[in-house]
A = this chain, B = another copy of it.
Amino acid sequence: MPLEHPDRDEIELTAVLHALSDPQRLRIVAVLAADEEPRACGSFGLEITKSTCTHHFRVLREAGVLRQHDEGRHRMTELRRSDLDARFPGLLDSVLAD
C-alpha cells in the first residue's frame, strides 16, 4: 500500500501545528532540517520504541511535514521544507529557531 502524503495544497495549518506540538516530533523535524538528505528511521537517536517512532513519523507524514519512501529494507524520510515554506512562510524557521 502506498504511503499517504497530502498534496502541497492539501496541507492544513492546524494539522501541521498539531504534528509539531510534540517534543520528539519537533526533534525529528530539527534533525531533518539540519541535514536535508533523506534518513533511515533508525538514525534519529531517539530513545523511544520503534512503534512510538513509527507513530510519530506517520503523524508528521500525514500532516504533510515529511515525506517517506522505501529503499529496499529501509524507509527513508525527508522534510517537505519547500512545501511547508510555500504554504506557511516563516513557520518552520520560527519553530526551528527555538
Contact = CB atoms under 8 A, between A and B. Distances in A.
Label chain A's interface by main secondary structure: helix
A83 B26 CA distance: 21
Contacts of A91: 91, 94-95
B14 A17 contact: no
A54 B89 CA distance: 31
Q: How many copies does the complex hold?
A: 2
Contacts of A90: 90, 93-94, 97
Interface residues of A, number: 20
Interface of A: 13-15, 17-18, 20-23, 26, 87-91, 93-95, 97-98
12 contacts: A13-B95, A14-B21, A14-B23, A17-B17, A17-B18, A17-B20, A18-B18, A88-B95, A88-B97, A89-B94, A91-B91, A91-B95
